[in-house]
Amino acid sequence: MLRLEHLVKDYYTGDEIVHAIRDLTVTFRDNEFVSILGPSGCGKTTLLNIIGGLDNYNSGNLVINGRSTKDYTDKDWDTYRNHRIGFVFQSYNLIMHQTVLQNVALSMALTDVPKDEREKRAAAALEKVGLKDQLNKKPTQMSGGQMQRVAIARALVNDPEILLADEPTGALDSHTSVQIMDLLKEIAKDRLVIMVTHNPELAQQYSTRIIRLRDGVIVSDSDPVREGEELEDEQKPLKKPSMKFGTALSLSFNNLLTKKGRTLLTAFAGSIGIIGIGLIMSLSSGMQGYIDRVEQDTMTSYPVTIEDNTMDMSVLMSAMMDRDEQGEKKSYDGTVRSRAFADKLLGSIADTEKNNLTAFRKYLNSPGGQELKETASAIEYNYGITMHVYNKQAVGDKLVAVSPNGLMDELGMSDMINLRDQFMGGMSSAMPGSEVWMALPAESSLRD
Ligand code: ADP
Ligand code: MG
């Protein structure tokens, strides 16, 4: 037994409210053929959808076999839709790329009926609606009346207690409509059929009860349930719907295959995304590699040098900057300016510090220095010893000093070299301009 109590359904579209159903109360018997008539937009489809559990209501109550659907869980609704309700639509809603048999068998996908049993039942349901020899046709090869028969077979295959039909003959000619109505009448012999229709004559001729709707309320009911009428109201236990993993998989796979274009496009779009990410990652890793290489090259040409004597270059720099500033201010007094600069320069040179390189080398060779050693590509030691190399000249058997380079001496600039050596101390190794002979780097990759 199905009962609707003060049911209300509003639709909200933007700021507007559409009152599709307003305060509707009606009871359906377990076995009757009800036709619902009414003008377009009066809420017929909405009513069927609510009864079928395809839409929810705003207030009021829908009572199914004595139990209010207010406390239905999602699972309860699934069970209800799957086992108690069969739906037939005006537009058939068939899957066009599957055969008639598959279409009907599909509605058993959520049951635990084995596969061959499903096909048997589907074939039996199709035989019932007169399509015994069309099992392997596709819906596209069929007429409207035949497609509606397939839809009815699909609605019946789970043997529902209630069949809901929304204008099932709306798209059919009168001759085919009569055939479909005959079929529905036959079906209504042992269950509740609620049919929405535009055609009052067909309703009059076939159904056992006619309900007229207008603006979401019942305006007439040809055979209302009277008070005190005995109605079955027991709660029947229901099987839970469930889909086997294999079924779900094969359904999804089928779906993928039938929409090849879309699947391809999706795959293509997805791969663009993945390729894009890959591209960005390879670019960034390439960039990082390049930076590392540049860093390494730079470090090779400008190694960290630790001398036994150091001079704080920053003091020298700031002394120069200072001079510039003062120079601008006191440009008229040249003597004072250059004196101050010379003082600072000499002061900074006096500021040199000594490094204990012997201890440092010891530390490098101790286990503690191992880590530092590993971070460097190569460590070289320079002892500031000049190698003396002489060349026996071909003419006159004369010995000529090749290293240290005697060129400067010959040019009379040996004083300059000495001065430089005095000032820079061991730093000469960092400015190897005048050296002809040099020790090879320890790291073989740096020798080219
Ligand atoms: P019928 O099937 O009797 O022609 P419906 O039940 O489809 O009428 O619609 C009843 C009213 O509710 C109509 O005014 C319709 O515009 C409105 N309506 C139906 N469905 C929706 C929806 N999803 N959103 C907004 N309004 C809707
Ligand atoms: Mg409608």
> Sheet holding 217-221: strands in order across?
85-88, 162-166, 192-196, 33-37, 209-214, 217-221
Tally the residues of the chain: 448
Q: Are 29 and 62 in contact (CB under 8 A)?
A: no
Q: Which of 46, 56, 217, 218, when mutated, tests ligand 1's pocket best, judged by the most ligand atoms within 8 Å of its CB?
A: 46
Q: Give the pLDDT confidence score for residue 166 in this predicted structure.
A: 93
- 11 Cβ below 6 A of ligand 1: yes
- Write down the pTM of the prediction: 0.58
Q: In the structure, what pLDDT confidence band is assigned to residue 233 with cuts at 50, 70 and 90? A: low
> CA–CA distance from 377 to each of 45, 121, 446 (Å)?
81, 80, 10
- 18 Cβ below 6 A of ligand 1: yes
CA distance 375 to 292: 14
Scanning the structure block, which residue is given the tokens 């400008």? Answer: 302
- 197 Cβ below 6 A of ligand 1: no
* One-letter identity of residue 48: L
User: Would the pLDDT of 202 be above 80?
Assistant: yes
Q: In the structure, what pLDDT confidence band is assigned to residue 333 with cuts at 50, 70 and 90? A: low
What token pair was written down for 346? 């000499």
Q: Give the pLDDT confidence score for residue 339 in this predicted structure.
A: 62
> CA–CA distance from 209 to each of 37, 123, 258 (Å)?
11, 32, 43
Q: What angle do CA 273, 278, 284 make, to 5 degrees?
A: 130
For ligand 1, atom 12, name the residue with the nearest CA.
20
Which residues does 135 contact at the CB level (< 8 Å), separation at least 6? Answer: 99, 100, 101, 123, 126
Q: Which of 11, 19, 37, 90, when mutated, tests ligand 1's pocket best, judged by the most ligand atoms within 8 Å of its CB?
A: 11
Mean pLDDT, the chain, whole residue set: 82
The predicted model gives 424-440 an average pLDDT of 54
Scanning the structure block, which residue is given the tokens 């990410």? Answer: 277
Q: Give the pLDDT confidence score for residue 429 in this predicted structure.
A: 45
Which one is predicted more confidently, 161 or 316? 161
Q: Is the peptide bond before 404 cis (omega within 30 degrees of 0)?
A: yes
For ligand 1, atom 6, name the residue with the nearest CA.
43
Query: For the segment 11-20, what is each residue's pLDDT rounded down to a tens digit?
Result: 998 889 999 9
Which one is predicted more confidently, 429 or 343? 343
- How many angstroms is it from 23 CA to the middle of ligand 2? 19
Beta strands in 378-437 (DSSP E): 389-392, 399-403
CA distance 319 to 326: 11
Q: Are 122 and 189 in contact (CB under 8 A)?
A: no
- How many angstroms is it from 44 CA to the middle of ligand 1? 8
Q: Give the pLDDT confidence score for residue 52 in this predicted structure.
A: 93
Pair type for strands 16-28 and 162-166: unpaired
Q: Which of 45, 48, 164, when mutated, tests ligand 1's pocket best, judged by the most ligand atoms within 8 Å of its CB?
A: 45
Q: Give the pLDDT confidence score for residue 163 in this predicted structure.
A: 94
What token pair was written down for 284? 């960034």
Query: For the segment 206-230, what is each residue's pLDDT rounded down to a tens digit?
Result: 999 999 999 999 999 999 888 777 6
> Sheet holding 16-28: strands in order across?
16-28, 2-13, 59-64, 67-68
Which one is predicted more confidently, 100 or 428? 100
Which one is predicted more confidently, 358 or 316? 358
Q: What angle do CA 30, 36, 39 make, to 5 degrees?
A: 165
Q: Give the pLDDT confidence score for residue 174 in this predicted structure.
A: 87
- 17 Cβ below 6 A of ligand 1: no
For ligand 1, atom 13, name the residue with the nearest CA.
41
Query: For the segment 32-46, what is each residue's pLDDT rounded down to a tens digit?
Result: 999 999 999 999 999
User: Would the pLDDT of 395 be above 60?
Assistant: yes
Q: Give the pLDDT confidence score for residue 362 in this predicted structure.
A: 86
Query: For the segment 42-89, what is each residue's pLDDT rounded down to a tens digit?
Result: 999 999 999 999 999 999 999 998 899 998 999 899 889 988 999 998
Instruction: Point out the ligand 1 atom lying closest to the alpha carbon of residue 44.
Output: 3
Q: In the structure, what pLDDT confidence band is assigned to residue 417 with cuts at 50, 70 and 90? A: low
The predicted model gives 135-143 an average pLDDT of 92
The ligand that comes nearest to the alpha carbon of residue 89 is 2
- 44 Cβ below 6 A of ligand 1: yes
Instruction: Point out the ligand 1 atom lying closest to the alpha carbon of residue 21.
Output: 10
- How many angstroms is it from 42 CA to the middle of ligand 2? 8
- How many angstroms is it from 179 CA to the middle of ligand 1? 29
Residue 197 CA to its chain's centroid (Å): 45
Query: For the segment 245-270, what is each residue's pLDDT rounded down to a tens digit?
Result: 777 888 788 878 878 888 899 999 99
Percent of the chain with pLDDT over 90: 40
